Amino acid sequence: MTVDEILDIMKVKARSDADLRARLLATRSGQNPLGDFCAICAECGCPLSVMDLIEAGESDYAAIKRSTNGGGENSPVLDGEDDYYEMFLAELAR
C-alpha cells in the first residue's frame, strides 16, 4: 500500500469511529506525534513508518516545485504542502 492509500483508508476509518478520530487528533500534543500517529495506523492494519510519511510529502512537494517555473528556485512556497501528517489532521478536524 502507498502512503496515499493508507491515509485514505485511515480517513475513512476515522470518520466512522469517533474514538479513532480523537486518538489521531490527540497525537498532535504527544511527545512523538508522528511515531504515535504511525503506531495507531499500524494498529488499524495500515502499517506506516515515520520516514515513509515524511518522504511521501517531501517527494510530492519536490515534484510540484519542479513543475513550476521550470523547476527553478523562484517557484512559489506552498506552506505545509509537504507535511502529509498535518494535512491529514487538518482535514480530519473539519
What whole-number distance in Å separates Cα of residue 58 and Cα of residue 45?
Answer: 24
Amino acid identity of residue 52, one-letter, is: D
Q: In this predicted model, what pLDDT tens digit does every residue of 45-88 receive, in sequence order? A: 999 999 998 888 666 666 656 665 565 555 555 555 568 888 89
pTM of the model: 0.77
Which residue range(s) make up the domain with 32?
A: 3-93
What pLDDT score was predicted for residue 68?
A: 59
- What percent of the chain stands above pLDDT 70? 72
Using a 10 angstrom Cβ sphere, with 0-12 exposed, 13-18 middle and 19 or more buried, the burial of residue 90 is exposed
Number of domains in the chain: 1
